[in-house]
C-alpha cells in the first residue's frame, strides 16, 4: 500500500487559525463563529489558563439549567451564609454584590449580582443553594463541563478566585458562551444589562463593549493578578454572531482597546467558507481487486473552514488515503481524509468514507489481475 494524494482545485482562503495577518497581545485568544462553531482564530486557545471571573459563565449556566428543570425558580429565596459573606462579601476585598449575612435573596437578584456586578458572594450563595456547599458545586461544574465537551475546564470554586485547579481554555470559554446564547436566550439578555442596584448600591457592567461596539450584547470580564485582564464577549451584526475570548492584558484600558480591535476584526477580517455539504461526493480512490477500479468518497458532515480574507492564494485541499484500497469495500467504510492546508501547515482535516460498496473480483478476475501485474513487472 502507498499513500495517495488527489489534489482538488478550489478557490479558498487560508484558515484563520494559521493566518499570519492577525495577532493579539493577549496571552490566550479565540475568535469563534457562533453559527458553525468554527474557530476563526486561535492563540494558545486550547491551553488551560486561569479564567478569573470569566468562569462565572459556568456558574450561571448551572443556574440556568436548574431553572429550566424546575429545581429552583427566579422567585426562590436562598440564604446568605456567613461563609458566603466572609469569602465574597464586603470584607473579602473582591467583587461583591454587598449581600448581608443571615438574610435571604431571590435567585433573580443573584443572577444579576453575578452577571452585572460580578459578585463573588452571589456565586457562593447560589452554589450553596444548589449543591449544599461551594466545593460540591465546583465538582458539579467540572462534571457538567465534561458532559458538554469542555475538556480543558476544571473548577475549584464558583467565583473564579485564584486556585491551581481553577482552569479553562479560551476555546472552552467560547463554546460555553455559545451554549448560553443558543440554549438560554431569555437569561442571556441579562448579560446586556448595563447596571444593577441591590441593597441601595448601584453597580455597572464592566463589559467594555456594551454601548460602544454596535451589536455587542454580553458576556463577562475577568481579572486577577495571575490571569491579567480578560473578556468573553459576543456581538451580532446582520444575522452573523461572533464570540471573542482573550486573557492576559495588562490593564482595564488595554482590555477595552483590545476588545474593540478583536471584535472589529472578527467581523471585518474573518469569514466562514463552505467546502462541501454533508453527503457530497468529493472524489474517488483507486481500488485493488475490486469489481470497480475506483470507489467514490463521501464526506458525512458539512465541511467549512474559518478563513482570513487576505490569505486566499496559498490554500490547497487534498484527498489523502492509503491505497489502492483492497476490495471488498462496504458503503461507509472509512477510506481517507480531506486535508486543508496553507504554507503554515495543516489547517483542518475531514474524514472521508466510501460512498458505495465495491465487491471483490471473482477468482478469474483476480487471476487476470495477477497475470497483468506479473507481465508489467
C-alpha cell recorded at residue 188: 442571556
- CB of 350 closer than 8 Å to CB of 282: no
- CB of 352 closer than 8 Å to CB of 303: no
Q: How many alpha carbons fall within 13 Å on the CB side of residue 255?
A: 23
Query: CA-to-CA distance for 289 and 272, rounded, in angstroms?
Result: 41
Burial of 357 (0-12, 13-18, 19+ CB in 10 A): middle
Distance separating the N- and C-terminal Cα atoms of the chain: 16
C-alpha cell recorded at residue 247: 486573557
Would you name the residues annotated as active-site residues? Answer: 53, 56, 118
| CB proximity list for 372: less than 8 A, separation 6 or greater | none
Amino acid at each position: 500500500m502507498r499513500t495517495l494524494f488527489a489534489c482538488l482545485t478550489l478557490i479558498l482562503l487560508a484558515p484563520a487559525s494559521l493566518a499570519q495577518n492577525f495577532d493579539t497581545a493577549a496571552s490566550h485568544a479565540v475568535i469563534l463563529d457562533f453559527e458553525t462553531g468554527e474557530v476563526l482564530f486561535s492563540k494558545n486557545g486550547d491551553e488551560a489558563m486561569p479564567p478569573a471571573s470569566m468562569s462565572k459563565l459556568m456558574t450561571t449556566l448551572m443556574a440556568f439549567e436548574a431553572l429550566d428543570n424546575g429545581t429552583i425558580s427566579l422567585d426562590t429565596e436562598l440564604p446568605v451564609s456567613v461563609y458566603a459573606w466572609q469569602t465574597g462579601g464586603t470584607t473579602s476585598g473582591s467583587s461583591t454584590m454587598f449581600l448581608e449575612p443571615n438574610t435571604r435573596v431571590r435567585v433573580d437578584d443573584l443572577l444579576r449580582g453575578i452577571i452585572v456586578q460580578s459578585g463573588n458572594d452571589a456565586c457562593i450563595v447560589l452554589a450553596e443553594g444548589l449543591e449544599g456547599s461551594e466545593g460540591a458545586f465546583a465538582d458539579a461544574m467540572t462534571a457538567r463541563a465534561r458532559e458538554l465537551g469542555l475538556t480543558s475546564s476544571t473548577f475549584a470554586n464558583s467565583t473564579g478566585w485564584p486556585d491551581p485547579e481553577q482552569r479553562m481554555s479560551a476555546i472552552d470559554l467560547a463554546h460555553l458562551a455559545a451554549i448560553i446564547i443558543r440554549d438560554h436566550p431569555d437569561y442571556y439578555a441579562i448579560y446586556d444589562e448595563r447596571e444593577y442596584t441591590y441593597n441601595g448600591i448601584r453597580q455597572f457592567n464592566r463589559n467594555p463593549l456594551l454601548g460602544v461596539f454596535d451589536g455587542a450584547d454580553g458576556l463577562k470580564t475577568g481579572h486577577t493578578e495571575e490571569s491579567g485582564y480578560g473578556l468573553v464577549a459576543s456581538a451580532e451584526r446582520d444575522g452573523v454572531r461572533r464570540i471573542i475570548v482573550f486573557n492576559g492584558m495588562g490593564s482595564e484600558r488595554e482590555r477595552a482597546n483590545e476588545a474593540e480591535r478583536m471584535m472589529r476584526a472578527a467581523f471585518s477580517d474573518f469569514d466562514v467558507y463552505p467546502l462541501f455539504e454533508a453527503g457530497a461526493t468529493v472524489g474517488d480512490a483507486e481500488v485493488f481487486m475490486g469489481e470497480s477500479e475506483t470507489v467514490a468518497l463521501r464526506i458525512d458532515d458539512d465541511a467549512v473552514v474559518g478563513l482570513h480574507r487576505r490569505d486566499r492564494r496559498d490554500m490547497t485541499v487534498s484527498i489523502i488515503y492509503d491505497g489502492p484500497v483492497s476490495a471488498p469495500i462496504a458503503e461507509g467504510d472509512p477510506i481517507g481524509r480531506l486535508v486543508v492546508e496553507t504554507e503554515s501547515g495543516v489547517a483542518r482535516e475531514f474524514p472521508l468514507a466510501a460512498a458505495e460498496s465495491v465487491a471483490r473480483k471473482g477468482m478469474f478476475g483476480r487471476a487476470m489481475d495477477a497475470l497483468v501485474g506479473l507481465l508489467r513487472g
